[in-house]
Each structure stands twice: as C-alpha cells, then as structure tokens.
Structure 1
Amino acid sequence: MKILIIEDEPKTGDYLRKGLVEAGFVVDLARDGLDGLHLALGGDYDLVVLDVMLPSLDGWGVLQTLRRAGHAMPVLFLTARDRVEDRVHGLELGADDYLVKPFAFSEFLARVRTLLRRGKAQEPEILRVADLEMDTIRRRVTRADVRITLTAKEFALLELLLRRQGQVLPRSLIASQVWDMNFDSDTNVIDVAVRRLRAKVDEPFEPKLIRTVRGMGYALEAPEQP
C-alpha cells in the first residue's frame, strides 16, 4: 500500500515516514502544498496524510483540488488546528478522518489502517477487459478461459494497467508503482517487463490489448469495435 504524507514540519514528516515504512508501507513525503498536490494528482496513492498549514497551498486547497479532479483516495488530516469548526470544515471538504496534534503514533497507525481497509473494500476484486480477467484476491489471471501464470512483478504490472485501463501510463509512473523506484531513462526494465507480459497475455490471443504510445508510455484497453 502506498501513502503520501504532505507535512512541512521536518521532524513530524520524518517521524511519520519512518514509522509507516517500519509498518510495511511505501511512503512518499512532500513538504510543500503544491509539491504534495502534484504528487497526489500524478501518483496512485492508497491514502494521503495531509497537514492544514502548508507553504504555497494550504491543506484545504489541496483537498478541494483533489476532490474536484475526481480523486477519491482516503485523506486523513493531521493538524494542530483543533477547533470544532476546523474539523467540520475538513470533513465537509471531503476528508475521511481528522486527527489533532500532538498524537500517539499507535492511534495514528490504527486510523491509517482503518481508512485503508475501507478504501480496499471499494476496489473491485475482479478486473476485466475484453476476455482478460484478473481475480486480485485469488491471484488468478485468465484469458479466453486459459489460465496464465505470472510472476509477482508481472501480476502487479498487469493489475496497474487494468485498474487504469484506457489511460496512458508513463514509464516513470509504472516504475514508482510496481518497482518503487525513481525512473532512470537509461534503464529498459519497464520495456522488458511489458514485453514479457505481452508474450503471456497478448501474443497468443486476439485482440491485442497492451499498446505502446510512442514517447509517452503504455496503455491497456480493448480495441473499439468496427
């Protein structure tokens, strides 16, 4: 599960990131409202932990922009603003929870896990496009009722493409979501992985579902019917 923290206080941000990483999460940290918004809009996060008082753009503005852009990932406000009016305002803007500083990390972690369980429950367990089907719970992939065996990375790559079907995914996004690494333009790891995935889910079948968008990335979608 991938979490974005938007927190400008260095000690608090580092403390949260360290604790969440130790709890088994992949964590990005932004120390500025605009930087955090850019990451949230471009990344595929399962949860955003958001301060209110931030440089460049406050937490209210970050949340409003996310919701107007159609992003429904859970958002947890973590802030020193403890007035009832602030809590109500945050929840009315679309926050899923509101925790006031100072806080106990055990309570923070419990709230994070609760929000992630809710978000997970809203995601479909069966993903389909054309005759390709993925059961994310049983970790089973079939195409035209033929069972396809994938490695863990191939499964994660295909799941990302299926959940974002129809969208062109840049190599940088695929690298961060599947390999949890920054994209190096000199490496061809993404292209090799897509080629191997194609050999299993596309080459033996028709129609072809994975397409390359030159200079941009990859997309998975069923071709339009004539």
Structure 2
Amino acid sequence: MNEVAPLHVLVVEDHGPLRTQVVALLRDAGHAVEEASDGRLALQMALEQPPDVLVLDLGLPGLDGVQLCRALRESASVHVPVLMLTARDSLDDKAQGFAAGADDYLVKPFAGEELLWRCRALSRRHRLGQPHVLVLGALRLDRTRGRAERADRSLDLTPIAYQLLLHLAQAWPRVVTRSELVRSVWGDEPPESDALRSHLYLLRQALDKPFGTPMLKTVHGVGYTLELPRA
C-alpha cells in the first residue's frame, strides 16, 4: 500500500465489531478513515467533506444504504465512489444498489485484502474530485442520477446495461475484456448462464439502434469498447 497515495475513506456500518475491523484494516494500510453508524449522519459527513471512497453498508438506521447512495448522488457536487458492503447477494439486490448509484459491490463475508484493492481501484477509476457528468462525444453519462444521453436523446437503459455502459465509458479508449465486464456487474460470483450477452444486446438496442452509427464495438477475441463517431 505504500506505493500509492493514502485515501480518505468514510466507513458506514452499524455493526460495531465489523466497523471497527474495517476501520483498523484501512488505517493499517495507511489510509485516513472516518466512520459512522447512522445513515443520516453519514450523508451529512459525505456532503460536507466528500471522501475518496465511501464504504457503505446496505442495512442502516436513519437512511438505509440505497437511500443514502441515492441522496448522495442527488446532492453531492463531485462523484464519490461508493463500495456497497452487504450480506445481500441476490442479483435484484445488486441491481437496486447499482440503480441507486453504487460503483461496486462486496458481499459479506469478505477478505480484507479484497476490500483494500477494491477501494484502490475505485479511487483510480473515478479520477477523484471530477464532476458527475462524463462526456464522450455525443454520449453523456450523469453519474449522480444514473442516466445516459446520446445526441441529447435520453437512453432507456436497464440498471445493468447502464453499469456496463458506464464501465466502458470510464475505460475508454481501452478495450474491456468480457471477464472485466462480468466482474464490474456481478463481482466474483457471475451467473451460470451467459447473462452478459443478453445485457449487451439490451445495451445495443438502447445505445445504437435508434442512431445511424453504432458506438458499442466488439473487438473479436479481446472484448468490447466504445467507438466515437466523427460526426
């Protein structure tokens, strides 16, 4: 951990022993850590001094994790990367978290080292302190509200299709492998069926079908990338 700059991490967890464990883990790795056990207090802290990463439990008093994340996206002036830390591991629960604006998901119980590298990855991925809106040519992604537009036309995306598009946009112009896309949505527990294919199809229907030039490009044998039309 010494080779990277320390992060400012806000840990929001109402289970005292687990919160203490996570805080100690992050501090031992050299990070500056604040903690909260109540959703309303955590939202106030995050808005007053946005952390580099917010580690957020789903079940909280005051505001639950989904409510807190949604309120943060609506009110914060910068994009705060949110790692949801929860025992709820169903696809529906993950979809709700991503729809509220979460950036990553870690299911309890988890390995401490995995939490550390996910925090590091989130801090790099979101280029700390940058505005919510990500613009690539005619594509506009509002990370506060989980909305996307192309050529000023709103895209009707499912939560998972939006998450895939956001990951591709943040990685642009790099080609993203299938395994990376799967990991960005389902973490280390991918579904048994080839769900990625279905969600990429839905993404193409919304992102490309209404327009003359496709943006989602398949790089055979490698993965996927976004191609920006010249016009």
Output the TM-score relative to the length of structure 1: 0.52
SS at match of 2:22: helix
Change (3 A) 1:121 1:38: closer
Q: Which residue of 1 aligns with 2:99?
A: 92
Q: CA deviation at 1:123?
A: 4.5
Alignment counterpart, residue 37 of structure 1, candidates 26, 34, 43: 43
Structure 1 Cα separation of the partners of residues 83 and 28 of structure 2: 19
- Structure 1 or 2, whichever has the larger Rg, is 1
Q: Which residue of 2 aligns with 1:15?
A: 21
Q: Which residue of 2 aligns with 1:25?
A: 31
User: What are the residue-to-residue correspondences of 1:197-216 with 2, within 5 Å?
Assistant: none
User: What are the residue-to-residue correspondences of 1:1-226 with 2, within 5 Å?
Assistant: 1-70=7-76, 71-120=78-127, 123=130
Structure 1 Cα separation of the partners of residues 114 and 50 of structure 2: 25
CA contact (8 A) 1:46 1:119 kept: no
Q: CA deviation at 1:121?
A: 6.5
Deviations, residues 12-40 of structure 1 (Å, cap 9, x unaligned): 10001001011111000001111111101
CA contact (8 A) 2:15 2:37 kept: yes
Structure 1 Cα separation of the partners of residues 29 and 128 of structure 2: 20
**Counterpart amino acid of 2:60?**
L
**Counterpart amino acid of 2:121?**
T
**Counterpart amino acid of 1:75?**
V
Structure 2 Cα separation of the partners of residues 77 and 62 of structure 1: 11
**Counterpart amino acid of 2:114?**
E
CA contact (8 A) 2:11 2:34 kept: yes
SS at match of 1:49: strand
Deviations, residues 82-122 of structure 1 (Å, cap 9, x unaligned): 11100011011111001110111111111111001112377
Q: CA deviation at 1:44?
A: 2.8
**More contact order relative to length (CA 8 Å, sep ≥ 6):** 2
Structure 2 Cα separation of the partners of residues 122 and 33 of structure 1: 22
SS at match of 2:119: helix
Structure 2 Cα separation of the partners of residues 27 and 118 of structure 1: 20
Query: What CA RMSD, in Å, does the superposition of the two structures yield over aligned residues?
Result: 1.6
Structure 2's unaligned 5+ residue stretches are: 1-6, 132-231
The percent identity for this pair of structures is 43
CA contact (8 A) 1:48 1:76 kept: yes
Deviations, residues 126-170 of structure 1 (Å, cap 9, x unaligned): xxxxxxxxxxxxxxxxxxxxxxxxxxxxxxxxxxxxxxxxxxxxx
Structure 1's unaligned 5+ residue stretches are: 125-226
Output the TM-score relative to the length of structure 2: 0.51
SS at match of 2:125: helix
